[in-house]
Amino acid sequence: MADKERIARLKQVQKIVSKLPFQTLLIEHATDIFYLTGLTLSKGMLLIDNRKSNLIVDGRYYEMATKKSPCPVTLLKKDALKDQTGLGFCQEHTSYARFLELKKISKKPTPIANPIDALRQIKDASELKKLKKAAILGSQGFRFVRKNIKQGITESQLALELEIFWKKRGIEDISFSPIVAFGENSAIPHHHPGSRRLKPGDTVLIDLGVKWQGYCSDMTRTFFFGKPPQKMREIYSIVLQAQENALKRCRAGASIETIERAAKETIERAGYTLPHGLGHGIGLDIHEQPFITQRAKNTRLKRGMVITIEPGIYLPKIGGVRIEDSLIIESQGHAILTHVSKKLDYVKL
């Protein structure tokens, strides 16, 4: 991203700080620092007031930062914050121990909800380009799994083969450890791949994602190794309908409560429950705001948000179905990033 775009983001934060009840905002969260400066740091401080920004780093990063930072850089010293008497900080990224340290520096350090979250929810053209590329790589990974799955392979072996496939294509990292679940394990929403071997008749649930230039992808598909039993066909149809009912409502201005209710009621009318949130924002973090849950009932979608919609039904000791897509919110609707069919699919044995 060009420096001018990073500078524009910093200026947005300066405007926010000008309306807050303190003089300077302290940002220490590595992801937020990356978002505002483009620099990957394991440790650093970004100080922003209503007129300027200053990045403070230790000796490991100083030379690199002075060359690449869109704002002035200062070498970290023990008393780096001694003159910051009107200091605000993002409470959700600050430990209690750090808060006590800040109290020694500033008489009344002010904890606030992270104002960077609101900026990060709306993706610009550069971010959308990276998210689209990450989604393409994610979809390619699923197609690799679908093509190469075989009887007797373990969940963990398949997860490893998937990661090797991606690494050969130059991914930065995986967004999260992929969920590869066979048979009854597919009824566990956050199952960790293990030694369970694939056998005929199994449900196969794959939840995966990669990082591309810092940005994440996320998708889930469920298919079957051999013809699925009628019960699994039934819940697959219900989950797909629940997702479609939610997706129809995904557009700028739509209420998250309405979207979540559309999926949940579809599942509940069929006699089942949705045991987790319907979705979440996606970007530099795999889970970020907005969260598509009842807790966000007063939140409305905005143009440029990127979210997931992922309803599921899970039958203990039998199997589960989850279908997840990532999408960009647009003025009159949305654009799906996950280009993989959702038609009920099974491997012919």
CB 201 within 8 A of CB 322: no
CA gap 73, 63 in Å, rounded: 9
Cα–Cα nearest to 219, from 276, 282, 264: 282
Q: What are the two backbone dihedrals, phi and then psi, of residue 255, each rounded to the nearest 5 degrees?
A: -75, 130
CB 181 within 8 A of CB 191: yes
Average pLDDT over residues 69-93: 85
Neighbour tally for 316: CB within 10 Å: 9
CB 284 within 8 A of CB 212: no
CB 69 within 8 A of CB 37: yes
**Residue 270 DSSP code:** T
User: 253-312 pLDDT, tens per residue?
Assistant: 999 999 999 999 999 999 999 999 999 999 999 999 999 998 887 899 999 999 999 999
Q: For the chain, give the percent of residues with pLDDT over 70.
A: 99
Q: Tell me what the pLDDT averaged over the chain comes to.
A: 94
Q: For the chain, give the percent of residues with pLDDT over 90.
A: 87
Average pLDDT over residues 166-187: 96
In sequence order, the β-bridge partners of residue 55 are 46, 73
Q: How confident is the model at residue 2 (pLDDT cuts 50, 70, 90)?
A: low
CB 348 within 8 A of CB 258: no
Q: Give the chain's domains with CATH numbers.
A: 3-119 (3.40.350.10), 125-347 (3.90.230.10)
Task: Evaluate the omega torsion of the peptide bond into residue 290 and state whether it is cis, within 30 degrees of 0.
Answer: yes
What's the pLDDT score for residue 71? 95
